[in-house]
A and B are shown apart, each in its own frame.
Chain A
Amino acid sequence: MTREEQTDTSNGEDLLVLRNVHKNYGSVEALKGIDLVAKKGECLVILGPSGAGKTTTLKVIAGLESVRHGEIYFKKRLLNNLEPRERNVAMVFETYALFPHVTVYENLASSLRALKMDEKELEERVRNIATMLGIYPFLSRRPGFLSGGQRQRVALGRALVKPVDLYLMDEPIAHLDAKLRYQMIGEFKHLQETLKISLIYVTHDWREAMSLGNHIIVLNRGQVEQYGTKDEVFRRPANTFVAQIIGDPPMNLLRGAISSREGRSMFKAGNIILELKERLDRGNVILGIRASKIHLATSTGNNRVSAEVYSSGRHGMNTVVSMKLGDEIFKTEFRGREQFTIGQRITVQLDLSGACIFDENRQLIRVLGEKDG
């Protein structure tokens, strides 16, 4: 290891930078110009549907795939031509196996033995990580005697026990059942914040992205749809794709046009007319509104809209309702256990604070003001 590589950068500094990275498989363009920054001590989540190029991006960073053109910098050093083992990154893929015939301790230790670490330091690292993951009591057991969740933590431990500068994880908990996933996200988050590790985490699940990511990069068909803090991605989605990949139900979209009258701007879609607090240029737009901003209307207040119940069901202590609003089906959730029947007419109030206005090309124009009277 050279002197230069050992010099530490402080938290928040750029650790890994990708510039205009392209990757082809034969004639298929898997990555079409990826730019991203992973900061030290942070978790960067790569979010996207299948086929977006998430795993390819990770492989390119790990050095498992070469790039067609573009640059990868690690601590300001060009990485393109370094072998995977020279890159000082540890990678965990979705399916990774434990050795069934040896103890949990050996499972963790074996990933350090390859590094020729001295036995005392090795033992200390293994015990620390096991404590952190809550698997210390099981160190002398074999994986077969552990529950699914415990085994998962061992697998995670195998990756995290390695002292590397950047951890790369590809859907590490996607195959767990839903309940275990909730536990693991909490563990993960705790671990990442305690150890201040730098991590790039690939997932198709927006919850994992929002839970873990300091920054999120949304990929789609090999291109970056948005790169930003998790707050930016949630509150200021660059386009309707980003708006709809995050949230359950996803953001509701309504096509319409903005016009002005007596100095006030209105959004109009068929019979639906909404008053805007701010002045906007006229034109055809798409209004995006999240489920939490749709309320059952009280007798007062503006922006009340009539809708027809399309279907309804339960989600925990909430009621999920889809409704026909103009030509669109809006999906929302109300707190509580009201009964709705299909075809029933209801009046909802749209709170436009935080609503997004997209242009006809589905790109964000602006986010409406936080307070709506």
Chain B
Amino acid sequence: MDKLILENVYKNYGEVEAVKDLSFSVKDREFLSIVGPSGCGKSSTLRMVAGLEVITAGNIFLDGEKINSIRARDRDIALAFESYALYPHLTTYKNLAFPLQTRRMSRDRMREKVQSILSLLHLEEYRDMKPGELSGGQQQRISLGRALIRDASAYLLDEPLSHLDAQERVDLRVQLQRIQKLNELTFILVTHDQLEALAMSDRILVMNEGRLQQIGTPEELYDDPVNLFVADFIGEPPMNFARGTLVKTDQGGLAVQCEERSFSIPRHLMLKKDLSAYLNGKVVLGVRPEYIHLSRKNDTGAIQGRIYSYEDLGEIGYLLVVCDGERFLIEVESGVSYRMHEEVFFRFDEERVCIFAEASGKRML
């Protein structure tokens, strides 16, 4: 069942179109993350769902009911925003209990709920302190707790982990996912951090310049990006790109001709899709660091390069290889020693090569 549906939603701020023709749905009990660079429209989208922004055009449905003109506080939605908006004169405990007081809950039940949130978010020791005495990360956890303590139809979280230090953030990712799954809640989380989204979500929606780029599971976005933007935005270390022209080779195959060398496109990939329409067009070849493998000189498809730098991270290593002006980062095993400028051979995992049209960014292969 769909919990939330956005249908051709637009948001204009004066002349500026912040969100353009956005349609997607969130399933009941789903954890959906919206990611994109700053200014992509992700927070505006969340604010429209919350009712904090009026939508310029389109429809929003929650639990099957159109909520376009329902006021924010009458929508059955819990919110946690990046700015904490805590009551400065109330203690952590009272800030957390506040959303429950209007709901005619017994004192014991309330105490129990607050206590469980305090322990879940590691806030017990700050129970009786006021926001002014706490760090940004601690305040952010209270703000998150205040959203989670409520019973709501959907939970909207805007960069809820942004002010935490690295260790806390990793811990809270785990906690957030557990809260959502164990209580069967619907979460919509906005973040600029694609690693965070990949680590927690059932599905991810990628936005850029106000438009939806792709919506899918973490593995769909990682392995099958629909365009150059998604391919580049998702994944760290990032996908390798080589820009060139799509040409026919002497052997009748296809290749991407870069400035100083060409990379042939595996034949069986060419069978998947007819690329003749793109011939002599500008294209971008993309391969992720994990999908490039070191090989021997005589292996089919072996490409020669020279080592530019090598990093050994203890459990994994990265080789940066230069190959006639193009550069590729290759994931390798740790514990091998490489010399700078040493000649190496590598090949692409044929199933994993992406080709994009440069102008539109659209994935062709």
Q: Which residues of A contact B (CB under 8 A)?
A: 49-50, 178-179, 182, 185-187, 189-190, 193-194, 207, 210-212, 230, 234-235, 246-247, 249, 290-292, 310-317, 320, 322, 329, 331, 337, 341-342
With A186-B320, A311-B177, A342-B178 in contact, is A316–B314 under 8 Å at CB? no
A210 to B311, Cβ gap below 8 A? yes
Residues of the B chain whose Cβ atoms lie less than 8 Å from the Cβ of A189? 309-311
Alpha-carbon distance A337/B308, docked complex (angstroms): 32
Partner of A314, one of B182, B218, B237, B329: B218
Kindly count the residue-residue contacts between A and B in the assembled complex, taking CB atoms under 8 Å apart.
94
B314 touches A234 (CB 8 A): yes
Note all chain B residues with C-beta closer than 8 A to A329. Answer: 174
Min CB distance A217 to B, Å, is 17
Interchain CB contact (< 8 A) of A211 among B222, B290, B313: B313
| Bound: A315/B200 CA distance, A | 10
Nearest residue (CB) in B for A337 is B219
> In angstroms, how far is the closest chain B Cβ from the Cβ of A370?
11
Nearest CB in chain B: distance from A273 CB, A: 26
Cβ contact of A247, chosen from B182, B198, B314, cutoff 8 A: B314
Q: Which of B238, B314, B340 touches A182 (beta carbons < 8 Å)?
A: B238
Question: Could you tell me if B329 and A186 are in contact, using CB atoms closer than 8 angstroms?
Answer: yes
B199 contacts the other chain (CB 8 A): yes
Q: Which residues from chain A contact B178 at a C-beta distance below 8 Å?
A: 310-311, 342
B195 touches A315 (CB 8 A): yes
- Complex contacts, A247 vs chain B, CB 8 Å: 314-315
Q: How far is the CB of B244 from chain A (nearest CB, A)?
A: 19
Min Cβ gap B223→A in Å is: 8
B236 contacts A292, C-beta separation under 8 Å: no
- Across the A-B interface, the 5 shortest Cβ-Cβ residue pairs: A211-B311, A313-B199, A314-B218, A189-B309, A186-B320
B314 and A178 within 8 A (CB): no
- Choose one: B165, B174, B195, B313; the contact of A311 (CB below 8 Å): B174
Q: Are A179 and B238 in contact (CB under 8 A)?
A: yes
Question: Which chain B residues have a beta carbon within 8 Å of chain A's beta carbons?
Answer: 165, 170, 173-174, 177-178, 181-182, 195, 198-201, 218-219, 222-223, 232, 235-238, 288, 290, 308-315, 318, 320, 329, 340
Contacts of B310 in A (CB 8 A): 189
User: Could you tell me if A314 and B219 are in contact, using CB atoms closer than 8 angstroms?
Assistant: yes
Tell which of A182, A290, A314, A341 has the most Cβ of chain B within 10 Å.
A314
CA gap between A342 and B177 in the complex, in Å? 9
| Chain B residues positioned under 8 Å from A49 (CB to CB) | 165
> How far is B48's CA from A95's CA once the two chains are assembled, in angstroms?
37
Q: Is the CB of A313 within 8 A of B201?
A: yes
Which of A179, A211, A312, A320 contacts B236, CB < 8 Å?
A179
Beyond A311-B177, A315-B195, whether A290 also contacts B201 by CB under 8 A is: no
User: In the complex the two chains form, what is the Cα distance from A317 to B352 in whole Å?
Assistant: 12
Q: A317–B340 contact, CB under 8 A?
A: no
Measured in the bound complex, the distance between the Cα atoms of B97 and A229 in whole Å is 51
Complex contact A313–B218 (CB within 8 A): yes
- Evaluate whether A210 and B314 lie within 8 angstroms (CB atoms) in the complex, with A179-B237, A189-B309 already known: yes
A315 → chain B closest CB, angstroms: 6
Q: List 7 A-B contacts (CB under 8 A).
A: A179-B236, A190-B308, A207-B313, A235-B314, A312-B177, A314-B199, A317-B223
Question: Which of A210, A312, A342 meets B312, CB within 8 Å?
Answer: A210
Beta-carbon nearest neighbor of A179 in chain B: B238
B290 touches A190 (CB 8 A): no
* Cβ contacts under 8 Å, B318 to chain A: 182, 186, 211
| Smallest Cβ-Cβ distance to A290: which chain B residue | B315
Query: Do B174 and A310 touch across chains, with their CB atoms under 8 A apart?
Result: yes
B236 contacts A313, CB within 8 Å? no
In the assembled complex, the CB of B161 is this many whole angstroms from the nearest CB of chain A, namely: 14
State the CA gap A159–B232 with chains docked (Å).
30
In contact, B313 and A316 (Cβ under 8 angstroms): no
| Complex contacts, A190 vs chain B, CB 8 Å | 308-309, 320, 340
A-B contact sample (14 more), CB < 8 A, given A190-B320, A234-B314, A313-B218:
A179-B232, A186-B320, A189-B309, A189-B310, A189-B311, A212-B311, A247-B314, A247-B315, A312-B177, A314-B222, A315-B195, A316-B222, A320-B199, A331-B170
